Chain A
Amino acid sequence: AQSVTQPDIHITVSEGASLELRCNYSYGATPYLFWYVQSPGQGLQLLLKYFSGDTLVQGIKGFEAEFKRSQSSFNLRKPSVHWSDAAEYFCAVGAGQAGTALIFGKGTTLSVSS
Protein backbone atom coordinates (compact mmCIF):
# COMPACT_ATOMS: atom_id res chain seq x y z
CA ALA A 1 0.00 0.00 0.00
CA GLN A 2 1.10 3.52 -0.67
CA SER A 3 2.16 5.75 2.21
CA VAL A 4 3.83 9.10 2.75
CA THR A 5 5.92 10.09 5.74
CA GLN A 6 6.90 13.60 6.64
CA PRO A 7 9.27 13.08 9.58
CA ASP A 8 9.29 16.68 10.79
CA ILE A 9 6.09 17.98 12.37
CA HIS A 10 7.42 21.50 12.92
CA ILE A 11 10.49 23.33 11.61
CA THR A 12 11.71 26.84 12.38
CA VAL A 13 14.03 28.59 9.96
CA SER A 14 15.54 32.06 10.06
CA GLU A 15 14.50 34.42 7.32
CA GLY A 16 17.02 34.26 4.51
CA ALA A 17 18.25 30.81 5.48
CA SER A 18 17.85 27.74 3.31
CA LEU A 19 15.06 25.24 3.81
CA GLU A 20 14.65 21.51 3.27
CA LEU A 21 11.47 19.66 4.12
CA ARG A 22 11.66 15.90 4.07
CA CYS A 23 9.24 13.49 2.44
CA ASN A 24 9.56 9.71 2.16
CA TYR A 25 7.11 7.57 0.27
CA SER A 26 6.33 3.90 -0.02
CA TYR A 27 5.16 2.69 -3.39
CA GLY A 28 6.19 -0.23 -5.56
CA ALA A 29 6.23 1.43 -8.94
CA THR A 30 7.27 4.88 -10.06
CA PRO A 31 5.10 7.25 -8.09
CA TYR A 32 3.57 10.56 -8.99
CA LEU A 33 4.67 13.04 -6.34
CA PHE A 34 3.33 16.41 -5.28
CA TRP A 35 4.04 19.15 -2.78
CA TYR A 36 1.25 21.41 -1.54
CA VAL A 37 1.30 24.46 0.72
CA GLN A 38 -1.50 25.60 3.00
CA SER A 39 -1.56 29.10 4.41
CA PRO A 40 -3.75 29.77 7.45
CA GLY A 41 -7.43 29.84 6.58
CA GLN A 42 -6.89 28.68 3.04
CA GLY A 43 -7.00 25.51 1.02
CA LEU A 44 -4.02 23.55 -0.24
CA GLN A 45 -2.15 25.07 -3.17
CA LEU A 46 -0.01 23.00 -5.52
CA LEU A 47 3.69 23.96 -5.35
CA LEU A 48 5.13 21.41 -7.76
CA LYS A 49 4.74 17.92 -9.15
CA TYR A 50 6.94 15.10 -10.41
CA PHE A 51 5.81 12.55 -12.97
CA SER A 52 8.92 11.48 -14.85
CA GLY A 53 12.07 12.82 -16.47
CA ASP A 54 14.40 15.25 -14.73
CA THR A 55 14.50 14.36 -11.06
CA LEU A 56 14.88 18.00 -10.00
CA VAL A 57 11.62 19.85 -10.49
CA GLN A 58 10.95 23.53 -10.14
CA GLY A 59 7.79 24.92 -8.66
CA ILE A 60 6.17 28.18 -7.80
CA LYS A 61 7.42 30.68 -5.23
CA GLY A 62 11.05 29.64 -5.73
CA PHE A 63 10.63 26.08 -4.44
CA GLU A 64 12.21 22.99 -5.93
CA ALA A 65 12.15 19.30 -5.08
CA GLU A 66 14.38 16.38 -5.93
CA PHE A 67 13.16 12.85 -6.54
CA LYS A 68 15.60 10.21 -5.31
CA ARG A 69 14.40 6.74 -6.15
CA SER A 70 17.14 5.00 -4.17
CA GLN A 71 16.07 6.80 -1.01
CA SER A 72 12.33 6.86 -1.75
CA SER A 73 12.43 10.55 -1.06
CA PHE A 74 11.04 13.73 -2.55
CA ASN A 75 12.43 16.55 -0.42
CA LEU A 76 11.35 20.14 -0.88
CA ARG A 77 13.96 22.91 -0.88
CA LYS A 78 14.23 26.66 -1.07
CA PRO A 79 17.56 28.51 -1.02
CA SER A 80 16.35 31.57 0.90
CA VAL A 81 13.20 31.57 3.00
CA HIS A 82 10.92 34.60 3.25
CA TRP A 83 8.60 35.33 6.17
CA SER A 84 5.64 34.76 3.85
CA ASP A 85 6.69 31.12 3.43
CA ALA A 86 5.44 30.34 6.94
CA ALA A 87 2.71 27.77 6.33
CA GLU A 88 1.98 24.07 6.44
CA TYR A 89 3.47 21.89 3.73
CA PHE A 90 2.07 18.58 2.54
CA CYS A 91 3.72 15.91 0.45
CA ALA A 92 1.44 13.58 -1.54
CA VAL A 93 1.85 10.49 -3.68
CA GLY A 94 -0.37 9.15 -6.44
CA ALA A 95 -0.49 5.76 -8.08
CA GLY A 96 -0.93 7.24 -11.51
CA GLN A 97 -3.96 5.09 -12.17
CA ALA A 98 -6.87 7.01 -13.55
CA GLY A 99 -9.38 8.02 -10.97
CA THR A 100 -7.45 7.12 -7.82
CA ALA A 101 -6.97 9.42 -4.86
CA LEU A 102 -3.72 10.93 -3.67
CA ILE A 103 -2.21 9.87 -0.36
CA PHE A 104 -1.15 12.84 1.76
CA GLY A 105 1.47 13.03 4.48
CA LYS A 106 0.63 14.51 7.88
CA GLY A 107 2.24 17.82 6.99
CA THR A 108 5.14 19.93 8.24
CA THR A 109 4.53 23.33 9.79
CA LEU A 110 7.15 25.89 8.86
CA SER A 111 7.79 28.88 11.09
CA VAL A 112 10.10 31.68 9.95
CA SER A 113 11.98 33.70 12.53
CA SER A 114 13.35 37.19 11.93
Chain B
Amino acid sequence: DAGVIQSPRHEVTEMGQEVTLRCKPISGHNSLFWYRQTMMRGLELLIYFNNNVPIDDSGMPEDRFSAKMPNASFSTLKIQPSEPRDSAVYFCASSLLSGNQPQHFGDGTRLSIL
Protein backbone atom coordinates (compact mmCIF):
# COMPACT_ATOMS: atom_id res chain seq x y z
CA ASP B 1 0.00 0.00 0.00
CA ALA B 2 1.27 3.45 -0.83
CA GLY B 3 2.11 5.55 2.18
CA VAL B 4 2.15 9.32 2.48
CA ILE B 5 4.09 10.72 -0.44
CA GLN B 6 5.99 13.98 -0.17
CA SER B 7 7.85 15.88 -2.84
CA PRO B 8 10.48 17.01 -3.33
CA ARG B 9 12.67 15.01 -0.91
CA HIS B 10 15.27 17.72 -0.92
CA GLU B 11 15.05 21.39 -1.83
CA VAL B 12 17.84 23.92 -1.86
CA THR B 13 16.99 27.45 -2.81
CA GLU B 14 18.08 31.01 -2.22
CA MET B 15 16.59 33.36 0.30
CA GLY B 16 13.60 35.24 -1.04
CA GLN B 17 12.45 32.52 -3.39
CA GLU B 18 9.07 30.88 -3.18
CA VAL B 19 9.09 27.28 -1.96
CA THR B 20 6.24 24.82 -2.45
CA LEU B 21 6.15 21.49 -0.67
CA ARG B 22 3.67 18.83 -1.75
CA CYS B 23 1.93 15.98 -0.01
CA LYS B 24 -0.29 13.14 -1.11
CA PRO B 25 -2.00 11.48 1.87
CA ILE B 26 -2.92 7.84 2.13
CA SER B 27 -6.04 7.13 0.13
CA GLY B 28 -9.12 7.21 2.36
CA HIS B 29 -7.50 9.28 5.08
CA ASN B 30 -9.37 12.48 5.84
CA SER B 31 -7.04 14.24 8.28
CA LEU B 32 -3.77 15.76 7.10
CA PHE B 33 -1.03 17.32 9.19
CA TRP B 34 2.02 19.44 8.37
CA TYR B 35 4.98 19.39 10.78
CA ARG B 36 8.37 21.07 10.89
CA GLN B 37 11.37 19.45 12.57
CA THR B 38 14.55 21.24 13.63
CA MET B 39 17.30 20.43 16.08
CA MET B 40 16.43 23.44 18.21
CA ARG B 41 12.64 23.15 18.37
CA GLY B 42 12.00 19.48 17.70
CA LEU B 43 8.79 18.41 15.97
CA GLU B 44 6.26 21.25 15.63
CA LEU B 45 2.72 20.98 14.30
CA LEU B 46 2.17 23.75 11.77
CA ILE B 47 -1.38 23.14 10.58
CA TYR B 48 -3.89 20.36 10.12
CA PHE B 49 -6.92 19.74 7.95
CA ASN B 50 -10.02 17.62 8.44
CA ASN B 51 -11.97 16.78 5.29
CA ASN B 52 -9.87 19.35 3.40
CA VAL B 53 -10.80 22.16 5.82
CA PRO B 54 -8.06 23.84 7.90
CA ILE B 55 -8.82 23.27 11.57
CA ASP B 56 -5.87 24.69 13.47
CA ASP B 57 -3.16 26.85 11.90
CA SER B 58 -1.87 28.30 15.16
CA GLY B 59 1.48 26.63 14.57
CA MET B 60 2.16 28.43 11.31
CA PRO B 61 5.08 30.67 12.25
CA GLU B 62 4.39 33.69 10.04
CA ASP B 63 2.22 34.97 7.24
CA ARG B 64 4.94 33.88 4.86
CA PHE B 65 3.67 30.34 5.41
CA SER B 66 0.45 29.15 3.83
CA ALA B 67 -1.12 25.74 3.30
CA LYS B 68 -3.90 24.51 1.08
CA MET B 69 -5.76 21.30 0.56
CA PRO B 70 -7.77 21.63 -2.65
CA ASN B 71 -8.92 18.01 -2.57
CA ALA B 72 -8.68 14.86 -0.50
CA SER B 73 -5.56 13.63 -2.25
CA PHE B 74 -3.30 16.66 -2.33
CA SER B 75 -1.95 19.38 -0.07
CA THR B 76 0.69 22.08 -0.41
CA LEU B 77 2.73 24.07 2.05
CA LYS B 78 4.10 27.27 0.60
CA ILE B 79 6.73 29.65 1.96
CA GLN B 80 6.96 33.04 0.27
CA PRO B 81 9.42 34.65 0.61
CA SER B 82 11.71 32.04 2.13
CA GLU B 83 14.36 32.85 4.74
CA PRO B 84 17.40 30.88 6.00
CA ARG B 85 15.65 30.24 9.33
CA ASP B 86 13.00 28.26 7.47
CA SER B 87 15.59 25.56 6.84
CA ALA B 88 14.23 22.37 8.38
CA VAL B 89 12.70 19.02 7.56
CA TYR B 90 9.00 19.32 6.80
CA PHE B 91 6.78 16.31 7.33
CA CYS B 92 3.30 15.56 6.16
CA ALA B 93 1.16 12.99 7.97
CA SER B 94 -2.32 11.64 7.44
CA SER B 95 -4.84 9.68 9.44
CA LEU B 96 -8.44 8.65 9.54
CA LEU B 97 -10.66 11.26 11.13
CA SER B 98 -11.53 9.09 14.11
CA GLY B 99 -9.80 10.40 17.23
CA ASN B 100 -8.00 7.22 18.15
CA GLN B 101 -6.24 6.68 14.86
CA PRO B 102 -2.46 6.98 14.54
CA GLN B 103 -0.87 9.34 12.10
CA HIS B 104 1.16 7.98 9.20
CA PHE B 105 4.15 10.06 8.21
CA GLY B 106 5.83 10.71 4.89
CA ASP B 107 9.61 10.68 4.57
CA GLY B 108 9.78 14.46 4.72
CA THR B 109 11.23 17.26 2.63
CA ARG B 110 14.64 18.52 3.69
CA LEU B 111 14.60 22.24 2.95
CA SER B 112 17.73 24.37 2.87
CA ILE B 113 17.45 28.12 2.34
CA LEU B 114 20.77 29.74 1.46
The answer for the CA separation of A49 and B98 in the assembled complex, in Å, is: 14
Q: Please count how many residues in chain B sit with their CB below 8 Å of the partner chain's CB atoms.
A: 23
Q: Are A101 and B48 in contact (CB under 8 A)?
A: yes
For residue B108, CB closer than 8 A to chain A, the reply is yes
Q: Are B105 and A45 in contact (CB under 8 A)?
A: yes
Q: Are B42 and A106 in contact (CB under 8 A)?
A: yes
* A42-B107, A43-B105, A107-B42 as given contacts; A99 in contact with B31, CB under 8 Å: yes
Q: Are A98 and B43 in contact (CB under 8 A)?
A: no
Q: Are A96 and B99 in contact (CB under 8 A)?
A: yes
A-B contact count (CB 8 A): 54
Within 8 A of A (CB), among B94-114: 97-100, 102-108
Chain A's closest residue to B92 (CB) is: A43
Q: Please count how many residues in chain A sit with their CB below 8 Å of the partner chain's CB atoms.
A: 24
Q: Are B99 and A43 in contact (CB under 8 A)?
A: no
Within 8 A of B (CB), among A5-52: 32, 34, 36, 41-46, 49, 51
Chain B's closest residue to A102 (CB) is: B103
- Interface majority SS on A: helix, strand, loop or mixed? loop
Within 8 A of A (CB), among B40-62: 42-43, 45, 48, 50, 55-56
Q: Which residues of B contact A (CB under 8 A)?
A: 4, 31, 33, 42-43, 45, 48, 50, 55-56, 91, 93, 97-100, 102-108
